[in-house]
Amino acid sequence: MARFTMSHRPRSETERMSRDFGWLAGLGTLLVVAGVVGLVYTAAVTLTSMLLFGWLLLIGGLIGLVHAVRSRGSSFFWLGAIVAALNIAAGVVIIGHPYEAAVALTMFAALLFLTGGLFRVVGSAVVRGSQFGWTLLLGLFYLLLGVLVLAGWPSNSQYVIGAFISLALLFDGLGLVATGFGGRRIVGMVSDQAARDVS
């Protein structure tokens, strides 16, 4: 009876781990499909993301305003009220003008790429550490990406944000799929080895 309990418990644990890795691979597959679909409909992804971002700002601002009002009389009140009002105003503007918000965010993303690439290129040239080549290559890639985004701005604004979000979904999904299938394979190998050791 004790032998059955000891052998049954690892088997159920192995099955549970294998099932969890299967769910992880399934979630990764959904993200990959969402990323591929998003790359086909980048304009729709950009519009949806802007509206979602606006509603999140609006709802967060309203919650912050309620919290600030409930804490009136404290030192937090004015800071909380100002931040909440800014969030509400930004949310209303983004919801009312999602394409204009995408234009502004695309410019902001291009400037981030340019400054980040410039810092990496200069930092790699000054420090010259063990990761010099990779840091320089990444910095040049960021500079190129920033220049390409700026070259097509503002006409590319309805596609850039959606493309970035879709690519992020795609690569995150591929990572989850690889982790899920790799984890299931490792669990299966360990289970087989344990079964051989018992026999």
Instruction: Decide which of 124 and 37 is more confident.
Output: 37
Does the bond joining 154 to the residue before it have cis omega, within 30 degrees of 0?
yes
CA distance 2 to 18: 25
Q: Provide the domain limits for residue 185.
A: 25-198
- pTM here is 0.69
Minimum mean pLDDT range among 25-29, 85-89, 126-130, 138-142: 126-130
Cα–Cα separations (whole angstroms), residue 141 to 111, 115, 174, 187: 14, 12, 22, 38
Residue 67, domain member (yes or no) = yes
CA distance 129 to 138: 14
Residue 9, domain member (yes or no) = no
Query: pLDDT tens, 13-50?
Result: 777 777 778 888 888 899 999 999 998 998 999 999 99
Query: pLDDT tens, 157-178?
Result: 888 888 889 988 899 888 888 8
Q: Mean pLDDT over residues 113-119, rounded?
A: 89
Instruction: Decide which of 44 and 123 is more confident.
Output: 44
Report the pLDDT value the prediction gives residue 199, as an integer from 0 to 100. 60
Amino acid at 22: G
DSSP state of 74: S
Q: How many domains are there within the chain?
A: 1
Q: Do the beta carbons of residue 190 and residue 14 sit within 8 Å?
A: yes
Q: Which residues touch 144 (CB under 8 Å, ≥6 apart)?
A: 117
On the question of pLDDT at 1 being above 60, the answer is no
On the question of pLDDT at 9 being above 50, the answer is no
Which pair of tokens denotes residue 124? 């790699």
Which pair of tokens denotes residue 172? 């995150």
Contacts 24+ apart (CB under 8 A), 184-192: 184/18, 184/21, 184/22, 184/25, 187/14, 187/17, 187/18, 187/21, 188/18, 190/14, 191/10, 191/11, 191/14
On the question of pLDDT at 181 being above 50, the answer is yes
Report the pLDDT value the prediction gives residue 192, as an integer from 0 to 100. 62
On the question of pLDDT at 132 being above 90, the answer is no
**Based on C-alpha coordinates, what's the Rg of the chain?**
25
